[in-house]
Structure 1
């Protein structure tokens, strides 16, 4: 039986695990191999099949690119294949499970506890497929995932803005290593209600690293007189690996200093080069400005609902850069809060995990408790037979969190990160469009109905093609890449043109999209349901779980 529950920030570039101690405060668990609070989200396969996770994999990534993968989070829910190793396709879900397994390993080692019950965080922009894939990664790693919650929500909990006396609108400005996310939320009496989200899935610290790399190389060529270009010349793998490490270190050094120095070597040429904070800020100003533009877009959406910003929370390691802090302060005229930006998400998730464990350990109506041979407790629905794990704590972690004088019970209200609609013909121009029924930012679970008309006399059926679109608009150009599924509604013979067809779409919190359509003339109906794509089937989950359990980690 576990002593604690855990919060995990499964990050694009770095991941982190935390727990809530007996004193009610959250603590990050250090990586025992590096003594760091975070672990690089990089996975590598040795020639013998052993899996390496973390700093060692990152440090040798350029030297072994065909057996190493980073930024796998950006592939979650989008593709079935992240990397091929020895002729076998490995999914993003499996790759992520190795990262989670490594975090659980060193947490267990230090706390002498079975890491079992966890909350895993995800970006606010993650859709249903990405969230399902994240939960599956946890299951494959042998974890009981109590919930997948948004990173901004976890950060708000950590920063203590969920106090019972608060009623405020908060912007979470999350600039991580690989992605940028803006979330505006209302927090009132412990209820966190997401208003809107924006972001760039490819804007993060890695972009600043790339600029720093170019600055260092330009200065190296100038100082050493090297006649070529080390970024393009042959046999440059070791140089590129060294450059990646030194560029990140130089960027980090400029957080606290006005200049950073690094020594570069290539093909017999050697030079010490210096980059000033002013040079770096000027070279990366376009990146900082693009982040502010996205923030402005979110603020404009909130203003349409009469919402103005009261607080700004900075989250993610890249917000340590003075350029970002000063830019946010000057642009919005609000002093941002920043505290442990690398750890805030994991700590907030750990606090929420304690609350969820307490809630989910209670039997619901119609459930009975059962215990398996391993001593694990389950709640079993007497009518359906469905089982769910009951989180039980055997020791510490029983203290409920107290944030600055106490909290109300925390409730999270999420919103849809996409719009969902049906393809139909616009009678004005005769062209087909996607007419959205559920809108981006609608609260979940969402349920909405829209009326349509038959196109011709004597139609035999109506084709109901459902799409998901990225914007909060009434209609959207047809894009088959956004197709979700279709259904057919059979009509009565001799149904006249312009007969009314009502279409209802429902989106649940677990990502299931349901359709109910009705011919209002005949009363005929059709129902259909779709689940997230690019996630594993239950059979694939079980097969992957066995494979991951039998795969050795280099750290074990």
Structure 2
């Protein structure tokens, strides 16, 4: 069985194509959104999803979120005394989604189509594939998120030639793509984005605004906040952000010590506060139109996907830029995973789906570092030489020939970069490889460097010495984010040893963590009432009577709704 997965920064989802349609897969709590959060429980067990998100407040040192932003880096995330790579934490989220899918479908799941931001580089894509491998999945296809959104909207079935812009703003990443449809072909014309821009940044802007406008006068300093206080601030900022999408005014409340602090913020003030972020959204839009050679009026439709597009300030910005209202016909949280399910159905050759010819593009320019001669025996180092330029249709293979700066050289080091600057110092290094040259000074020492970029956005680099026919392929030696086969084997073994609670206990754990969070957020009689409910529920759980536990979960869950104003699901 093949499923589609949207591995998101804030939330992740799974879906399947069956009975002629894409179907969302609920998790053990009955929700289709699984927060991309991981936590270590007090007994050392791994918690994923909603209970892990609640523990961001109650046990921040044992919990992690937004780790997708660090995929493909050497960053280590500490949970208590243990350290995890972003790929490993992502794998735990994927394993949870697979367990939910198997319970829902009643059969094993071995393969998945996983979506990635269109602007993910080679290292980040390989890290995503490794996360799938660590979760026990075969990942033959990585699908760019805007392309997935187009599939979800059924744009590939449009009867006439047309051009669409897909605006994808998620929790941590931003992509924009322009797609052209003609004669049964869905072609990506241009794409751009920002891997460090999303709804989380708009939440952070509110936190900073609160501290600047109210907190500093009350002696509140961001650098002095405890992890728990910072988590509470972000939860309140998230609530205010959502409130401002439907109301003209919201009140930010936070109690760091004895006195509660208030900040009334209007929707207009919030838009001003987020002006730098909105400008960062506009820049890739303009670049994409420019690269595609289009004017805003040339577009037939503008499609918004990603949970952060619910913000009214983003909707208004797009409406102003394009002079029309964008489309949000499909739940923006669900559009990408629905498209991944369509792609999974296409891959499984489901009879209900017509074959779709899809072409995508390389979202950034790829090349190597060279030296440029500007005078006799004088060279300028660090010059970027493009081999595959951005928005080249993929799969693509391009070859360029280079020679050493000296006939005496016996080796060259080829450094691979991604970016648009002429100076490699301003671009991103993806890796390097060393190529030996003939020892004789008279020999032909030119090297053919071939870049091959496939439909999954993965790059292969091959260097061939013309004189000897020697071939070297890219071995990432300097990238701090590269996981070696040995690293993967160790991670697989470590993940297999982790204690994962039975799926049937998910509701119990979620309720326990929710009550702990609400207890910390409350005061006075409310706190006392929640404390009593915690004791009662722990007593019921200890008796191990499934019917009694199920009834308590239902009754307590309904009772807590009156207090849980910070609930995000």
Give TM class, smaller chain: 0.7 to 0.9
The Cα offsets for residues 167-201 of structure 1, whole Å up to 9 and x where unpaired, read as 33322211111122222333334433333332222
For 1:39-77, what per-residue CA distance to the aligned partner results, in whole angstroms no more than 9, with x for missing partners?
211111234331111222222225534332222112212
Partner of 1:265: 255
1:470 to 397, 408, 419: 419
- Equivalent in 179, 186, 190 of residue 185 of structure 1: 179
Please list every run of 5 or more consecutive structure 2 residues that lacks an aligned counterpart in the other structure. 504-569
1:42 is the counterpart of 2:37: yes
Aligned residues: CA RMSD: 3.1
The equivalent position to 1:114 in structure 2, one of 75, 86, 108, is: 108
Q: Which residue is equivalent to 1:353?
A: 344
**Contact kept in structure 1, 2:111 and 2:137, CA below 8 Å:** yes
Aligned residue in 1 for 2:473: 529
What is the CA–CA distance in structure 2 between the aligned matches of 1:212 and 1:163, rounded to whole Å? 41
- Distance in 2 (CA, whole Å) between partners of 1:272 and 1:30 is 38
Q: Are the aligned partners of 2:462 and 2:471 in contact in 1 as well (CA < 8 Å)?
A: yes
1:307-386 correspondence runs (5 A): 309-338=299-328, 339-358=330-349
Q: Structure 2 vs 1, CA of residues 418 and 89 (structure 1 numbering), >3 Å: closer, same or farther?
A: farther
Shift of the alpha carbon at 1:408? 4.5
CA deviation after TM superposition for structure 1 residue 124, in Å: 0.6
The DSSP-based 3-state class of the residue aligned with 2:386 is strand
CA distance in 2, matches of 1:288, 1:177: 15
SS at match of 1:269: coil
User: 1:190 and 1:541, CA in 2 relative to 1: closer, same or farther beyond 3 A?
Assistant: farther
Q: 1:454/1:140 Cα in 2 relative to 1: closer, same or farther (>3 Å)?
A: closer
Give the direction of change, closer, same or farther, for the CA distance of 1:242–1:503 in structure 2 (3 Å limit).
same
Deviates more, 1:306-315 or 1:126-135: 306-315
TM-superposed CA distance for 1:100, in Å, is 0.6
Tell me if structure 2 keeps the 8 A contact 1:43–1:53: yes
Distance 1:300 1:74 in 2: 27
CA distance in 1, matches of 2:46, 2:243: 31
Counterpart in 1 of 2:396?
Answer: 446
Cα displacement string for residues 354-377 of structure 1 (whole angstroms, at most 9, x for unaligned residues): 11122xxxxxxxxxxxxxxxxxxx
Are positions 1:11 and 2:8 aligned together? yes
Matches within 5 A, 1:236-255: 236-255=226-245
Taking the TM superposition and a 5 Å limit, the aligned residue runs for 1:113-262 are 113-163=107-157, 165-216=159-210, 227-229=218-220, 231=222, 236-262=226-252
Q: Given the superposition, is the C-alpha separation of residues 51 and 186 from structure 1 closer, same or farther in structure 2, using an over 3 Å criterion?
A: same
- Residue 283 (structure 1) shift: 1.6
SS at 1:60's partner residue? helix
Higher relative contact order (CA 8 A, sep 6+): 1
Question: What is the match of residue 69 of structure 2?
Answer: 74
CA distance in 2, matches of 1:78, 1:306: 37
Cα distance change of structure 1 residues 111 and 259 upon mapping to structure 2, 3 Å threshold: farther
**Which residue number corresponds to residue 404 of structure 1?**
none
Distance 2:285 2:213 in 1: 34
Q: Deviations over 1:394-451 (max 9, x none)?
A: xxxx5624xxxxx542434342634122523334562122322232333333322334
Q: Match of 1:295, SS? A: helix
When normalised by structure 2's length, the TM-score is 0.78
- Cα distance change on mapping 1:20 and 1:200 into 2, 3 Å: same
- 480 and 123 in structure 1: CA distance in 2 versus 1, 3 angstrom threshold: closer
Give the deviation of 1:150 after TM superposition. 0.7
Gaps of 5+ in 1: 359-397, 402-406
Deviation at 1:85, TM superposition (A): 4.5
Instruction: Name the CA distance, whole Å, in 1 between partners of 2:445 and 2:490.
Output: 47
Counting matched residue pairs gives: 494
Q: CA deviation at 1:257?
A: 2.2
**Which residue number in structure 1 is paired with residue 450 of structure 2?**
505
Write the mapping of 1:383-422 to structure 2, written as runs, cut at 5 A. 400-401=352-353, 407-415=354-362, 417-422=364-369
Given that residues 512 and 531 in structure 1 are in contact (C-alpha distance below 8 angstroms), is that contact kept between their aligned partners in structure 2? no
Give the match for residue 515 of structure 1.
462
Q: 1:129 to 1:165 in 2, by over 3 A?
A: same
More helix by share: 2
The yes-or-no answer on 1:485 pairing with 2:433 is yes
Q: Distance in 2 between matches of 1:173 and 1:148?
A: 19
Answer yes or no: is the 8 Å Cα contact 1:435–1:475 preserved in 2: no
Aligned to 1:287, which of 277, 293, 296?
A: 277
1:229 match: secondary structure: coil
Q: Who is 1:380 aligned against?
A: none
Q: TM-score, normalised by structure 1?
A: 0.80
Q: Check the 8 A contact 2:122/2:430 in 1, yes or no.
A: no
2:52 pairs with one of 50, 57, 63? 57
Inter-partner Cα distance in structure 2 for 1:211 and 1:416: 28
The answer (yes or no) to whether the contact 1:179–1:201 under 8 Å persists in 2 is: yes
**Do the aligned partners of 2:174 and 2:198 also contact (CA within 8 Å) in 1?**
yes
